[in-house]
Chain A
Amino acid sequence: MMPHWLDNFLFTYQSLVYSLGVNALLALAMYVVLAVGQLALGQAAFMGVGAYASALLTVKLGAPFPIALLASMAAPALLAFVIGAPTLRLSGVYLAIATIGLGEVLRILYLNWDFAGGALGLNGIPEKAGFVWIFGTLIVALVAFVFVSRSRIGRAMEAIRADEAAAGVMGVNLPAYKLAALVASAAIAGLAGAFNAHVSSFIGPNDYGFDQAVTILSFALLGGVGSPFGPVLGALVLTALPEVLRPLHDYRLVIDGLIIVCVVIFLPTGILPWRIGRIGARK
């Protein structure tokens, strides 16, 4: 089915290729909240909820993989819906801190939850997700993002990001849009978590904390948030960079960091500053 060279490449770089796809999905989860001007950093936490929900289903209950995937979206989406009401009253840094707090609360919860493996995490997760699942989902998600961007909803979202109060005066239901963005973000991050769990065979309570939250934010910052492609590109670059720089041996992380610093300083709107149009059909 696949050409020989691709097969070979995937065999050698399998885990890197999977990470590219998973991180690209996480970048989209980050994008959807930034697109309505919300600095909500709960994606790592939602990823964890999705990973645990799906892995518990497949490992402990022997559920079919598609069911586990649905649960990996539904569980974090529900959580986002519940915490959305109080947290979306916050804005800016306060929202960021509150959502990072969510990740820490969940980490302690996983640590003390024996059924979910406690500090040891969950082992032996079946490797059900693969190239087709991950990249198929990524492509479908990207197309959906582009379609939504170029519509009434995309215009309302950009209006909120540009000037929230003015968007409200235009008739945009601000709380509904912000909550919907958070729920969508949670569902996508949860799905990415499920894919990650089902290619790496192991998940632990410390995989979804502050570090991961900041890493996901950096995808969007590096790529730029003018279009859904920016964060995806940012994720691809940041994920591939350490591998590409491998020949540099000990200097690898130095150069890696240097590149990121340079982009932030010299390209403040990201490496892909292009802004997506907002009209879906003209003639």
Chain B
Amino acid sequence: MSATLLSVEDLTVRFGGLTALSGVTFCVAKGAVHGLIGPNGAGKTTAFNLISGMTAQTSGSVTLEGAKLDGLPTWKRTARGMARTFQNIRMFREMTALENVMAGAHLRTPESFGSILFRLGSFRAAERSAVANAMDILDFVGLSEQAERRGGDLAYGDQRRLEIARALASDPKLLMLDEPAAGMNPSEKIGLIDLIARLRARGLTLLLVEHDMHFVMKLCDRITVLNFGAKIAEGAPAEVRANPTVIEAYLGAKVARSLETRA
């Protein structure tokens, strides 16, 4: 495969006596769709929080394109090319969908304080191009009709897509999606699968946490399985669903069989 974009090495975090993640190591290849799966409480979201800088690790390291990110706050990691969505949607609820996406483009909107105060031509140009760019992204995720609606007023599935749009606005290299299909109905899920395929076609690398196994098996090139904060398996979808440890810890024999037949 191609070069490594993200590498997570021996990542460990303890909250008091609880070891939420212990010595997890995996690599995400450039251009890949990488899945992170495991039972509830396995440490998937914790891993996301450590990678994105929302939680500080106890030990281990996170490297993006060969540069260590350890100790960097979230906003500096975003500047390095990382973006994420949240398991529990964290919309800027009062802002319109368009404003939400524009807020996501914070680092890509070149407006100096002076140009804002004096409404210089450079400010107007930057603002117009930010609007156009945000509208393009809304269009890409299929929300251009909802641009002027309050983010908090959108339907649940639309809010999930708006979060993806907001994350895309920073023009990331790595997009991390935390349970993007959660709460979606089957037709919304089909739309999401299509959206993720189009993201990948754009050359984006994706790391996703998801519980819908058909979804994961269909989309991912590589899957890392966590259980009780430790990695128990990693490999291509076919290897993972045939892995007895994974079947016992997470999938269960029945699901594994059904995935087998569908594949």
Residues of A within 8 A of B (CB): 144, 147-148, 151-153, 155-156, 158-159, 162-163, 165-174, 275, 277-283
Contact = CB atoms under 8 A, between A and B. Distances in A.
A283 B83 contact: no
Interface string B77-109: 011000110100011111110110011101101
Contacts of B54: 165, 168-169
Interface stretch (B24-32, B125-133, B191-199): B125-133
Interface stretch (B5-13, B116-124, B206-214, B253-261): B116-124
B116 A163 contact: no
B102 A148 contact: no
Contact of A162 (B83, B92, B96, B98): B92
Interface in B51-76: 52, 54, 73-75
Contact of A279 (B52, B74, B102): B102
Contacts of B84: 169
A144 B228 CA distance: 53
A159 B90 contact: no
Contacts of A166: 86, 90, 92
Given A151-B127, A166-B86, A281-B123, A159 B52 contact: no
A47 B106 CA distance: 33
B170 interface: yes
B106 A171 contact: yes
Contacts of A155: 95, 99, 102-103, 106
Contacts of B103: 155-156, 158-159, 167, 170, 278
B117 A165 contact: no
Contacts of B234: none
Leading 8 A-B pairs by shortest Cβ distance:
A171-B78, A168-B74, A171-B107, A281-B127, A162-B92, A166-B90, A281-B124, A151-B116
A283 B130 CA distance: 11
B116 A147 contact: yes
Contact of B111 (A144, A152, A158, A277): A152
Contact of A158 (B92, B98, B124): B92
B92 A168 contact: no
Contacts of A156: 103, 106
B15 interface: no
| Of listed A158, A163, A277, A279, residue having the most chain B CB within 10 A | A279
Nearest to A180: B113
A144 B117 contact: yes
A148 B116 contact: yes
A37 to B, nearest CB: 12
Contacts of B95: 155, 158-159, 162, 278
B166 interface: yes
B116 A172 contact: no
A141 B183 CA distance: 46
A280 B112 CA distance: 13
Contact of B90 (A153, A163, A173): A163
Interface residues of B, number: 39
Given A275-B94, A283-B128, A148 B111 contact: no
A283 B131 CA distance: 9
| Of listed A170, A277, A279, residue having the most chain B CB within 10 A | A170
A272 to B, nearest CB: 15
18 contacts: A144-B117, A147-B116, A151-B127, A152-B102, A152-B116, A156-B103, A158-B94, A159-B95, A163-B91, A163-B92, A166-B92, A167-B92, A169-B74, A171-B79, A171-B170, A174-B73, A278-B96, A279-B127
Contact of A153 (B78, B91, B104, B116): B116
B52 A169 contact: yes
Given A165-B54, A172-B75, 16 more contacts: A147-B116, A148-B117, A151-B111, A159-B106, A163-B92, A168-B54, A168-B75, A169-B78, A169-B84, A170-B75, A171-B107, A171-B170, A173-B75, A280-B119, A281-B123, A281-B124
Contacts of B92: 158-159, 162-163, 166-167
A92 to B, nearest CB: 18
Contacts of A174: 73, 75
A174 B96 CA distance: 22
B45 to A, nearest CB: 13
| Of listed B78, B84, B91, B116, residue having the most chain A CB within 10 A | B116
Interface in B21-43: none
Nearest to A159: B103
A283 B125 CA distance: 9
A141 B107 CA distance: 26
Given A162-B94, A278-B95, A281-B123, A168 B113 contact: no
A207 B170 CA distance: 47
A281 B79 CA distance: 25
Contacts of A144: 117
A168 B92 CA distance: 12
Contacts of A165: 54, 74, 90
